[in-house]
Amino acid sequence: MHLNWDAVIARSWRVENISHIAALLERIAGHLGEGSALERIVRFSASHVGDVTEEPGFGELERELMLIESNPDAWVRECAHGLSELIGMARHEQNPIVFV
């Protein structure tokens, strides 16, 4: 069975490249500390292609996102909102977040 790519995607969001993610994590490091879920899950691999994030990791990510959602930096808030939206969609669809 061949499925169209659009038929299997509930939500697509470009997180940016690894250097943008590194800069984002530097901006929020003071709020989250070393070894945060965002760092371990979102940035652990330079390529990330094919990596999957699913429950129970969503809860840990959501707790961290709540810590940074009031950050004065609009870019940080935008990324937190985007990840929160992805988690909500993944839960609704009962599927993982897949990095492609």
Specify whether the CB–CB gap between 17 and 92 falls below 8 A: no
pTM of the model: 0.73
Print pLDDT tens along the chain (100 aa).
Answer: 565 656 666 666 666 677 777 787 788 777 787 778 877 776 655 555 557 788 888 888 898 888 888 888 888 888 888 889 889 988 988 888 877 6
C-alpha span between 54 and 86 (Å, rounded): 11
42-66 burial string, b = 16+ CB within 10 Å, else e?
A: bbeeeebeeeebeeebbeebbebbe
Distance CA 86, CA 83 (A): 5
